[in-house]
């Protein structure tokens, strides 16, 4: 009886549980060899994925050098951001610029290579100040070269010499005086308007060379008698700008037509597209179009280039 009681007591004790022998809780940490729970899996995945964007952003972060705006030597891409500052091109009178231009044109347009090899390199040597050059361009308009030269020489004498040609001396000449030396009443008004623009400060010999091509075209075409073609000729033969394309010049248009085998004269927009590969030396490309037309015996209305050839020793 005592033995049975002891066995019963031992059985009850095992049912009630002994703290020293209680079963392990189901939430105890798993060993590395045992599979993790679904909840632990999701938690770890979320933790890992949340770090990926942060890590990616750190890798792609730009350095201070990367944030600097890029620069380009030649702004030849029409889609290029206009905010970017291109390297300023030197006038064609700077040493080595003509050679650089010819190398660029040979490489960019094989059709020009034969022309470049056939003619001496261009030269742009005019040293006239802007006011005198603009007055001269007005006097040469719509005239044969020899007649224009004669009128120009008389005009210079009337002013007291080339060094004296300026806004004050021109405004001091009345239309009757100018008419006596062969200057029409209309051209006299053009000369006076040019002088007035100088006197008002809208233009000056110091300001003009500092203007970019677009600003120069805008400002100078405000002068009576000066249109886009005259401004292009002024930029080429007086300021020696390297990248001027006179899209309205008949000689250049005919040259491009013949060079490219076109059936019709190219329009201004077509000229821009065809000659885009000449950038930033479209002035030199245009010079060869004039020479090309002269060799073919094609008559051109480009009187200013002919006058520049005689006066400036180069074209």
CA-wise closest residue to 203 among 125, 127, 134: 134
Backbone angles phi, psi at 95, to 5 degrees: -60, 130
Query: Rounded distance, CA 275 to CA 105, Å?
Result: 10
- Quick one: 46 exposed, middle or buried, by C-beta within 10 A (0-12, 13-18, 19+)? exposed
249 is annotated as an active-site residue: yes
Query: For the residues of 209-275, what is the DSSP string, one character each?
Result: GGS-HHHHHHHHTTSTT--HHHHHHHHHHTS--SS---TT-HHHHHHHHHHHT-SSPPPHHHHHHHG
Query: Rounded distance, CA 175 to CA 193, Å?
Result: 12
- Quick one: 112 exposed, middle or buried, by C-beta within 10 A (0-12, 13-18, 19+)? buried
Q: Which of 33, 109, 213, 249 is catalytic?
A: 249
Contact yes or no for 272/76 (Cβ under 8 A): no
For helices 303-312 and 145-159, give the axis angle rounded to 10 degrees: 60
Other C-beta atoms closer than 10 Å to the C-beta of 26 total 5
Contact yes or no for 93/238 (Cβ under 8 A): no
Token digits of residue 289: 């179009």
Triad 207, 75, 229: Cα angle to 5°: 50
Triad 260, 269, 264: Cα angle to 5°: 40
Just list the catalytic residues: 249
């Amino acid at each position: 009886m005592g033995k049975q009681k002891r066995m019963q007591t031992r059985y009850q004790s095992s049912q009630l549980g002994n703290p020293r022998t209680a079963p392990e809780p189901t939430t105890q940490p798993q060993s590395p060899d045992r599979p993790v729970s679904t909840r632990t899996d999701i938690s770890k995945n979320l933790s890992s994925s949340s770090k990926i964007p942060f890590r990616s952003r750190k890798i792609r972060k730009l350095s201070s050098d990367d944030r600097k705006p890029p620069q380009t030597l030649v702004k030849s891409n029409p889609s290029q951001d206009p905010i970017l500052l291109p390297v300023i091109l030197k006038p064609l009178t700077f040493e080595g610029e003509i050679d650089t231009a010819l190398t660029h044109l040979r490489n960019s347009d094989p059709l020009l290579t034969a022309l470049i090899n056939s003619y001496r390199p261009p030269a742009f040597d005019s040293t006239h100040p802007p006011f005198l050059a603009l007055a001269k361009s007005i006097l040469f308009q719509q005239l044969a070269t020899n007649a224009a030269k004669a009128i120009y020489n008389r005009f210079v004498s009337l002013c007291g010499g080339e060094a004296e040609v300026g806004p004050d001396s021109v405004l001091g000449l009345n239309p009757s005086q100018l008419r006596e030396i062969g200057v029409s009443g209309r051209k006299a008004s053009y000369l006076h308007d040019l002088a007035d623009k100088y006197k008002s400060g809208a233009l000056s010999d110091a300001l003009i060379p500092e203007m970019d091509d677009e600003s120069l075209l805008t400002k100078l075409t405000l002068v009576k008698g000066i249109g886009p073609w005259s401004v292009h000729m002024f930029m080429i033969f007086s300021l020696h700008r390297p990248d001027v394309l006179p899209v309205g010049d008949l000689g250049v248009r005919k040259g491009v037509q013949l060079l490219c085998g076109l059936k019709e004269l190219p329009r201004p927009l077509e000229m821009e597209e065809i000659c885009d590969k000449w950038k930033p030396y479209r002035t030199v490309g245009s010079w060869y179009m004039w020479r090309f037309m002269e060799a073919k015996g094609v008559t051109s209305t480009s009187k200013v280039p002919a006058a520049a050839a005689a006066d400036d020793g180069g074209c």
